[in-house]
Amino acid sequence: MKTVNIHAAKTHLSRLVDDVAAGGEVIIAKHGKPMARLVPLEPVRPKRQLGLLAGQCKIPEDFDAPLPDDVLKSFLGG
């Protein structure tokens, strides 16, 4: 983490932003006292869209019907 005074930060802001974008972090100080922290932004995740596949798949009417005995036995180890 690099610390720079406010005058240097104003003078070299473009370079500091490049450093931060590459994963760094910069503390900006005034008279030697830390005042601000320059950090990279979190990547923006696209908002999830519900119903994106609506109408593209069909669920049978009996999807929640009990399993046949032979299939149930194979799951239960019988």
pLDDT in tens, 51-75: 888 889 888 999 999 988 999 889 8
Residue 5, C-beta contacts closer than 8 angstroms, at least 6 positions apart = 28, 29, 30, 31, 32
Q: Is residue 7 part of a domain?
A: yes
Q: So what's the pLDDT on residue 78?
A: 63
pLDDT band at 77 (very low <50, low <70, confident <90, very high): confident
Neighbours of 28 (CB within 10 A): 19
Residue 67, C-beta contacts closer than 8 angstroms, at least 6 positions apart = 75
Number of domains forming the structure of the chain: 1
Q: Is residue 16 part of a domain?
A: yes
Q: Is residue 31 part of a domain?
A: yes
Return the CATH number at 23: 3.40.1620.10
Q: Which domain holds residue 13?
A: 2-38
Mean pLDDT of 25-42: 95
Q: So what's the pLDDT on residue 76?
A: 86
